[in-house]
Chain A
């Protein structure tokens, strides 16, 4: 590796260390995608400038570019792709071990960059689509809960209002006829008792059926 196609190159350990740095930086590609791309591309560019064949090493900055494209806007992803393309092609052409500007990694860099860019953008779009569907489902669930609570409130209001109206009327009757018709007053009081008992029974029954109906089977 010290001599390849007439190019002199430093000790391979130093060059392979550059490749290792370019690859190990990928461990942080989620937290610092742009920084990782810069480090990886710089390391592979240095490796290429030393005159080594860079076919395998090119994969590291390409993976970093893919990570960038999945996490930033399309405009920034395209800018990162153009920068990566320029750096890698310039470094490869400057000391191409195949003896000319083109050839080897130089020829495949554009295809790798475009593939990483498009794949990253496609994955980012899919993630955004899935996130939007999830948000919509959560909004629908919250809306159904609100509607169920409103329905329960309306039912409770109807039951209480009907019972209170009945009690009010019967109490008025009882108060009116008590001095002259105690039996009719007793009937009115009995009606009040029945109405209140029925109201309580309905409240209990509707409370339980409402709770059962609002069980989150759709959540």
Chain B
């Protein structure tokens, strides 16, 4: 269990993790911004 937690912590602090999280945030917020501009769709 500690190994899994350590691996998760390494992933959270890794540059690859930063990029993936930025991509996820981009997808969600762009979708949100698009939805705000098209409230009836």
Q: Chain A: residues with CB nearer than 8 A to chain B? A: 1, 4, 12, 15-16, 19-20, 22-30, 47, 52-57, 59-60, 63
Closest to A47 in B: B33
Q: Name the prevailing secondary structure of the A interface residues.
A: helix
Q: Please name all residues of chain B whose beta carbon is closer than 8 Å to the beta carbon of A60 when the two chains form the complex.
A: 25, 29
Q: B29 is contacted by which of A4, A28, A59 (Cβ under 8 Å)?
A: A59
Q: A27 is contacted by which of B22, B29, B37 (Cβ under 8 Å)?
A: B22
Is A16 in contact with B34, judged by CB distance below 8 angstroms?
Answer: yes
Residue pairs across A and B with Cβ atoms less than 8 A apart, 17 shown, are: A1-B34, A1-B37, A1-B38, A15-B33, A16-B34, A23-B22, A23-B25, A23-B26, A23-B29, A27-B19, A27-B23, A52-B36, A53-B37, A54-B36, A55-B32, A56-B29, A56-B33
Q: Give the 9 A-B residue pairs with the shortest CB-CB distance, closest first.
A: A56-B32, A1-B37, A27-B22, A23-B26, A53-B36, A26-B22, A19-B33, A27-B19, A23-B25
* Contacts beyond the supplied A24-B22, A30-B18, A59-B25: 9 A-B pairs with Cβ under 8 Å: A1-B37, A4-B37, A16-B34, A19-B30, A23-B26, A26-B18, A27-B19, A53-B36, A56-B28
Q: Please name all residues of chain A whose beta carbon is closer than 8 Å to the beta carbon of B32 when the two chains form the complex.
A: 55-57
**Nearest-Cβ distance from residue B41 to partner chain A, whole angstroms:** 10
Q: Is B21 an interface residue (CB 8 A)?
A: yes
Q: Chain B: residues with CB nearer than 8 A to chain A? A: 18-19, 21-23, 25-26, 28-38
Closest to B18 in A: A27
Considering the chains assembled together, what is the distance between the CA atoms of A24 and B35 in angstroms?
A: 19
**Nearest-Cβ distance from residue A69 to partner chain B, whole angstroms:** 17
Considering the chains assembled together, what is the distance between the CA atoms of A25 and B29 in angstroms?
A: 13
Q: Please name all residues of chain A whose beta carbon is closer than 8 Å to the beta carbon of B26 when the two chains form the complex.
A: 19-20, 23-24
Is B22 in contact with A55, judged by CB distance below 8 angstroms?
Answer: no
Q: Please name all residues of chain B whose beta carbon is closer than 8 Å to the beta carbon of A12 when the two chains form the complex.
A: 34, 37
**Nearest-Cβ distance from residue A50 to partner chain B, whole angstroms:** 10
Considering the chains assembled together, what is the distance between the CA atoms of A1 and B35 in angstroms?
A: 9
Q: A23 is contacted by which of B30, B34, B36, B38 (Cβ under 8 Å)?
A: B30
Closest to B35 in A: A56
**Nearest-Cβ distance from residue B40 to partner chain A, whole angstroms:** 11
**Nearest-Cβ distance from residue A112 to partner chain B, whole angstroms:** 13
Q: B36 is contacted by which of A27, A28, A29, A56 (Cβ under 8 Å)?
A: A56
**Nearest-Cβ distance from residue A7 to partner chain B, whole angstroms:** 11
Considering the chains assembled together, what is the distance between the CA atoms of A57 and B29 in angstroms?
A: 6
Considering the chains assembled together, what is the distance between the CA atoms of A59 and B28 in angstroms?
A: 10
